[in-house]
Structure 1
Amino acid sequence: MTDTPAGDRPLVDTHVHIFRKTMPLVPDPRHAPTYEFTAEQLQGVLDAHGVQFCVIAAASPWGDCNDYVIRSLRTRPRWRGTVILDPSTDLYTMEQMTRDGIVGVRLPFISMKTLPDLDSWDYRKFLYRIAELDWHVHLHLDGPRIPQVLPQLERSGVKLVLDHIGRPDPVQGIHSEGFKAMARAMENGRTWVKLSGAYRLGPQAAEQARELCRQVGTDHMVWASDCPFVGDEATKYQSTIDWLANVVPDAAERRKIMGENALRLYFS
């Protein structure tokens, strides 16, 4: 068991991955793990750190091969998940996924040189179905390009979760248009930000997280580890908890970020 005091342990980890070695990788994946991280291994890590709930994030190396995630959710009522889907996916399939524990769609746009047209018929229909199911869009995109898709996503009425602190602009940081657009979206009340992935993002991560908290508060912030840290496996789970304690020194605010907010977003 971690030495973290019981009152400061995360209750919900909102971004973790599970995968098997036998799962097919998409062509030219961003990462190509040669190992597996199973549901059972993840449960062991969560138990060791006192984490009771989690959200499995669909991972871009496996595209829309969501099979293992869905099967793992079916027997774990304290787990939820997101999926990667083709925008033409029919309503009946999505309704069954809801029963299995799926609560959102991840859009891994960070891998795309050209962003898709969210005003196309397929995407307008897709976003309508996501909103009707009360799912959320889990957007993974570099900060400078976030303003290119936020207007369409907000108009669609979906709940929106921005990955990894909005992936800060490495040059302009909190002065960038991406940061400003993210802060405005949070103020509108249907956008959440994951305080996660700092180990990938450099010194801008802490600055951006602190400034977001200062400008818009913590009601729409959630915490995540990004375990098992694909591509940077030397990262320790505890370090992601310690990072949040450094960024948000107020214990009551941290408990909200690590628990209450996530329960309301993913489990209500």
Structure 2
Amino acid sequence: MIQFDCHAHVYETVTAVKGARYVPAAPAPLADWLAHQAAHGLKGGVIVQVSFLGTDNSELCAALAGLDRQRFAGVGVVPLDVSEAALDALVAAGVRGLRWNLVRGVTLPDLAAPATRRFLDLLRARGLHLDIHLEGPRLAGWLPALTDQGVDVVIDHFGLPGEPDAGRDPLIGAVAGLADRSALFFKFSAGYRVPFDIRPHATELLSLIGLDRVVWGSDWPHTQHESRTSYASTREAAHHWGPLADQVAARHLYGIGPA
């Protein structure tokens, strides 16, 4: 059973950073997200820093400040050279992971570079996970090295697979080829961002990594797809992705739910 919405964006104002790829037309208030949760019998969830706000996590922290830490957590975005003090402040605010948004040709971080190694050291020391938003064809070749860094890796949106045939999908093949999948988790969210039926990919991923390494997310307010989906339809879609149960993964990754 799904108890948590582990991928949603909350912002009370729309003030984008310079160069933002997309700016929504309206805010996504915390009260609205909580109302959706209540309507669908959910117990809490995870607020993910939205891309148009860049590394300014103030909206995220403000939302978390009024929420129960046993039911809610956050995933922030910071620069590679983030200071330890700034990172500790995010952890104190309820952030349990940091996101790399690498879609649309963004250069992949060099995992061997000193700045990246320092960044990953900071995550390891604080028990934070790395949240990856990247298209499957690009992610596939990077996955073995990424999951060998000593931090948990959470892949957004099924990994945005690029091949309709799950049996031939490069990302599915990369997951299958991992000698050790213990650091790998997936978010089953935003199937509408993939231009084909995602159900075969969900089945393959569940068979490879197991129920305890999957969480569900609404991707609310469905940025760039606001007119073609809704919270209700995203919740309904999850019923077709397998017998999902998020209690173990949500507790491990975000510290939410029963101990």
TM-score greater than 0.5 by the shorter chain:
yes
Aligned to 2:35: 44
Q: Secondary structure at the match of 2:110?
A: coil
1:48-99 per-position Cα deviation (integer Å, ceiling 9, x unaligned): 2121111011121221111110111122122211111100001121112111
Q: State the match for 1:4 in structure 2.
A: none
Aligned-residue RMSD, C-alpha: 2.0
Matching of residues 220-239 of structure 1 within 5 Å: 220-234=213-227, 235-239=229-233
> What is the rounded CA distance, in whole Å, between the counterparts of 1:87 and 1:174 in structure 2?
36
Distance 1:126 1:66 in 2: 17
Q: 1:203 to 1:187 in 2, by over 3 A?
A: farther
More contact order relative to length (CA 8 Å, sep ≥ 6): 2
Unmatched tracts of structure 2, length 5 or more: none
2:88 maps to what in 1? 95
Letter in 2 for 1:265: L
Kindly state the Cα deviation for residue 25 of structure 1 after the two structures are TM-superposed.
3.1
Number of aligned pairs?
A: 253
- 2:14 and 2:241 map into 1 onto residues whose CA distance is 38
- Amino acid in the other structure paired with 1:36: P
Quote the residue 1:265 is aligned against: 253
Paired-residue identity, % = 26
Partner residue in 2 for 1:60: 51
1:17 corresponds to 2:2? no
Q: For 1:264 and 1:113, how far apart are their aligned partners in 2?
A: 29
C-alpha deviation, 1:185, in angstroms? 4.8
Asked if 2 retains the 8 angstrom alpha-carbon contact of 1:107 and 1:140, the reply is yes
Match of 1:146 among 139, 142, 151: 139
2:235 aligned partner, one-letter code: I
Q: Determine the structure 1 residue equivalent to 2:234.
A: 240
- Trace 1:209-220 onto structure 2 (pairs within 5 A): 209-220=202-213
CA distance in 2, matches of 1:173, 1:85: 33
CA 1:59–1:184: 2 relative to 1, 3 Å: farther
Q: Relative to structure 1, is the Cα distance of residues 52 and 185 closer, same or farther in structure 2, using a 3 angstrom cutoff?
A: farther
Q: What amino acid is the match of 1:18? A: V
Matched letter for residue 60 of structure 2 = V
Gaps of 5+ in 1: 1-7
CA contact (8 A) 1:161 1:191 kept: yes
Distance in 2 of aligned mates of 1:225 and 1:93:
29
Distance 1:22 1:201, change over 3 A: closer
SS at match of 1:155: coil
2:186 pairs, out of 161, 183, 193, with 193
Bigger Cα displacement from structure 2, 122-131 vs 44-53: 44-53
- The answer to which of 218-227 and 99-108 deviates more is 218-227
Q: CA 1:164/1:58 → structure 2, altered by over 3 Å: closer, same or farther?
A: same
CA contact (8 A) 1:18 1:39 kept: yes
Counterpart AA for 1:246: H
Normalising by the residue count of structure 1, what TM-score does the alignment of the two structures yield? 0.87
Is 1:143–1:166's contact at 8 Å kept on the other side of the alignment?
yes
Answer 1 or 2: which has greater helix percent. Answer: 1
The amino acid across from 2:145 in the alignment is: Q
Give 3-state SS (helix, strand or coil) of 2:222's partner. Answer: coil
